[in-house]
Amino acid sequence: MSLRDKIDNFKKPFAKGEKYEKWAPAVNALDTFLFVPNHTTKKGAHIRDGVDLKRTMITVVIALIPALIYGMYNTGYQHNVQTGEAVDFMSCFMFGLWKVLPMIVVSYAVGLGIEFAFAIYRGHEVNEGYLVSGLLIPMIMPVDIPLWMVAVSVVFAVVIGKEAFGGTGMNILNPALTARAFAFFAYPTFMSGNKVWVADASTTDAISGATILGQLAEGKGDKVTDVLNMVHDKYDAWSMFSGAIPGSIGETSTLWILVGAAILILTGVASWRIMVGGVIGATIMGLIFNVFHVNALMTLAWYEHLMIGGFAFGLVFMATDPVSAAQTTKGKWIYGVLVGMFCIMIRIFNPAYPEGVMMAILLLNVFAPTIDHYVVEASVNRRKRRLAVKQLKTT
Amino acid sequence: MSNDIRIKKGLNIKLKGEAECLLSEAPRSKVFSIKPSNFHDVTPKMVVREGDTVKAGETIFFSKYSSSVKFVSPVSGKVKEVRRGAKRVILDVLIEADATDTFVEHGVKSLAAMSSDEVKQSLLDSGCWPFIKQRPYDVIANPADAPKAIFISGYDTAPLAADVTFALKDKKDAFQEGVNALTKLTTGKVHLSIDKTSSSYFKEITGVELHGVSGPHPAGNVGVQIHHIDPINAGERVWVVSPQDVAIIGTLFLTGKFDASRVIALAGSCISEPKYYQTKIGASVSDIIGSVSEDCRIISGDVLTGDKVTADGFLGFYDNEITVIPEGNNYRFLGWMPFKDNSVHSYAKTSFAWLSGKKFDANTNINGEERALVVTGEMEKVMPMDVYPMQLLKACMILDLEKMESLGIYEVVPEDFALVDYVCTSKIEAQEIIRQGLDVMIKEVG
């Protein structure tokens, strides 16, 4: 008996009209992960592209892997370098793996559990969107956040952020960022400050858990210049770029995020327009601040802004979420540029949020439909004008 | 030519089994069929009964709500059966053909001396009227309308499509006469679009405005051409006729007969010798393709817009092609993995298929399941019009008439969304959604 026959046998009680019919979406979800189904076209075009949502979503997961592996290594590295333990790749990576893996397991278990429950309740197939969100959520959390907080954030993001709006494809905000924003406001002591960004920093006095942006935001007035100098002594441009700095698990390494970005752009899965637009927006804003440095914080070089904090990660993996981003080609440019500009603006002007990318993306998520509206309206107006010209001629 | 249309967005799907430019005579079918479902939005009113003898060109049924529009028999013979479905809907009318056709004689007419109304009347009486279709809505034209222009697309860019110039190579006079007849029906222009690189006689046709078209599919779709030549505004009507039907109209005036003969392409990877056949509208497909394996799907029309027919089915009224491709009712283990199964054609770059220069053996597998719309920007890549496809589809789903109108529903028909069907990651039935949207517009706006 082949595997296929075994599955078909197992699925019999879940068929239409059978006893466990309503549980079918759950079984189908597992089945279609093993086999692309044998469904043939019933109407419309007789042939269909080989791509499906699973393939698209898994491509994003693949693009996340380099940053994830580096994130696990960096979790260990940031910890070990301060405690004086071994900093070779394997020991750092294993340390990080044991910290991060439980978060990923919790995120997937809770999130997919809810997705399956809603699919069964609503009688539709399980959408694959959470495969990406479920990996993104642990990657944008600080390493020491308790697992139950991860779970609660996931519940909020999936139920309120997504299913309340009708499920995959209907949400206004990016689900992963919704989870982070929830944790950020609900458990601020675990999500901000100088004690959370390196493993065990909150329990061990010897370990400092401050991020670069966090330190800069703490410094007031002229002290910022001192902090800037201190930061530059501690971290050179290469560590900022390669990611050997404290931060949320997956977001520190601009290098490996760029590898992910290359995968996303080459496969056409994420919009390069949003990414390029975001870099342009952030660069413009950074340059403006560099030129008119009214305060010391504005002297942080524009290119350093691109490398530190979650800017690169947010722009590549979250701002490009096709559901919550602008959907039209022109809209994507506008949206991308604005994400970049707002991110840097929030960093400089709002001391409550040392990192601006989360707020910038969520804000623009809200405005994306408006941007699209005006872009589409341009086409609508061209059509109306054509009609008006025509009517003018005939009368 | 200054009237050229260059299409950039779109997609040529390279498939195995393209018809070779060889013409054979298909054996004459014993039974022919006329199917009311080929004529969208027409309710048939039968004129003949089972057992009646009919001549070629004799009325079989007419349109209940537009009684001057008649549908005629392609051959002479005996009405064998009127097949009905649920609620006694007429599925098709089968006509047992005589060995040779006797025609209803309409008499040779000189177009030059005829008025617009006389031409119209001849077309209606002879059963040629259903060849004239109307945009918006993609339905048979209303004889009472005055269209602002008439469009003929002499270039079919669909995958495995029949080469129009080959199919019509011996019909120059009939085609010219057909064009002459059409020029009588509009005060506007008759536009003929041709493959820019073609060297056929289409370039010498007089009385038309010629457009050279280049670019990937759907460049040959008449709707795309209309959009770039003279777009349809709210309240306007344009008519379209496909080139082989222009020749049938021309033959009517030259010979006085309704000549239902067509040159069709037989294509697809299930066919061992794909080539062209001389046959007639409504012919039985088994007489053309012989026997094919049960694992094949027979399509009257092309792979993107055609209708599935059974092995004992018939050629559709408007179709000039039969495509036979394998059914895809098989499972693919872990087939969703990126860059696995690269032999499955794909426009998306999550597979190496787009790099491959070879032709694909496409089957009818959906390659996934329907999902919520997530991916953006992919539909726009195959929509060479100033239309936002996803927004328009969503407007059609919620039947927001005002939005549909402002987003350009009048300018599109289902076939323009065929490639959207194809590329959509979420496997949305775009053509069906557009058809439903258009049907609501017919009812509400008219």
Same domain, A327 and A189: no
First and final C-alpha spacing in chain A: 77
A226 in a structural domain: no
Same domain, B381 and B314: no
Dist CA B414 CA B423 (whole Å): 15
Low-confidence ranges of chain A (pLDDT < 70): 220-222, 395
At B289, which helix (H) or strand (E)?
A: helix B285-289
Q: Name the domain boundary from A226, A248, A269.
A: A269
The structural domain count of chain A equals: 2
| pLDDT above 90: residue B354 | no
Which ipTM score applies to this complex? 0.91
Of B338, B368, B377, the CB nearest to A271: B377
**A88 CB-contact burial (10 Å; exposed 0-12 / middle 13-18 / buried 19+):** exposed
pLDDT score, position A395: 67
What residues have CB less than 8 Å from B163, skipping those under 6 apart?
A: B19, B21, B156, B265
Dist CA B207 CA B213 (whole Å): 19
CB B261 within 8 A of CB B6: no
| pLDDT above 50: residue B143 | yes
pLDDT in tens, B51-68: 999 999 999 999 999 999
Q: How many residues does chain A have?
A: 395
Domain enclosing residue B373, as ranges: 366-444
Chain B residues with CB under 8 Å of A41 CB are: 364-366
pLDDT score, position B153: 94
Does A147 contact chain B (CB < 8 Å)? no
CB A113 within 8 A of CB A163: no
**A222 CB-contact burial (10 Å; exposed 0-12 / middle 13-18 / buried 19+):** exposed
Q: How many residues does chain B have?
A: 446
Q: What is the DSSP letter of B314?
A: B
Angle between helix axes A329-349 and A272-291 (nearest 10 degrees) is: 40
What residues have CB less than 8 Å from A22, skipping those under 6 apart?
A: A120, A123
**Chain B closest-CA separation from residue A264 CA (Å):** 9
Of B348, B368, B373, the CB nearest to A36: B368
pLDDT score, position B166: 92
pLDDT band of residue B91 (cuts 50, 70, 90) is very high
Q: Give me the residues paired with residue B77 across strands.
A: B54, B97
Let me know the angle formed at the C-alpha of B162 by B161 and B164, rounded to the nearest 5 degrees.
125
Same domain, B131 and B229: yes
A24 in a structural domain: yes
Listed residue (A135, A140, A177, A143) closest to A160, CA to CA: A177
Domain enclosing residue A138, as ranges: 9-36+53-202+240-269
A154 in a structural domain: yes
A124 in a structural domain: yes
Same domain, B249 and B119: yes
Listed residue (A120, A114, A88, A68) closest to A317, CA to CA: A68
pLDDT band of residue B1 (cuts 50, 70, 90) is very low
Neighbour tally for B57: CB within 10 Å: 27
Listed residue (B180, B189, B199) closest to B247, CA to CA: B180
Instruction: Using the structure block, give the residue that is written with the tokens 């499955």.
Output: B344
Let me know the angle formed at the C-alpha of B55 by B52 and B60, rounded to the nearest 5 degrees.
60
B352 in a structural domain: no
A303 in a structural domain: yes
Question: How many inter-chain contacts (A to B, CB under 8 Å) are there?
Answer: 212
pLDDT in tens, A220-237: 666 778 888 888 888 888
**Chain B closest-CA separation from residue A277 CA (Å):** 16
Dist CA B281 CA B389 (whole Å): 34
A43 in a structural domain: no
pLDDT in tens, B161-186: 999 999 999 999 999 999 999 999 99
B334 in a structural domain: no
Who wins on pLDDT, A11 or B241?
A: B241
Same domain, A386 and A276: yes
pLDDT in tens, B22-81: 999 989 999 999 999 999 989 999 999 999 999 999 999 999 999 999 999 999 999 999
Same domain, A292 and A343: yes
**Chain A closest-CA separation from residue B313 CA (Å):** 17
- Best of B11, B229, B336, B379 to substitute, by most chain A Cβ atoms within 10 angstroms, is B336
pLDDT in tens, B191-213: 999 998 888 899 999 999 999 99
Same domain, A309 and A252: no
CB–CB of A379 and B387 under 8 A? yes
B341 in a structural domain: no
A4 in a structural domain: no
**Chain B closest-CA separation from residue A50 CA (Å):** 5
Q: Which of residues 154-173 of A touch B (CB under 8 A)?
A: 167-170
Same domain, B86 and B111: no
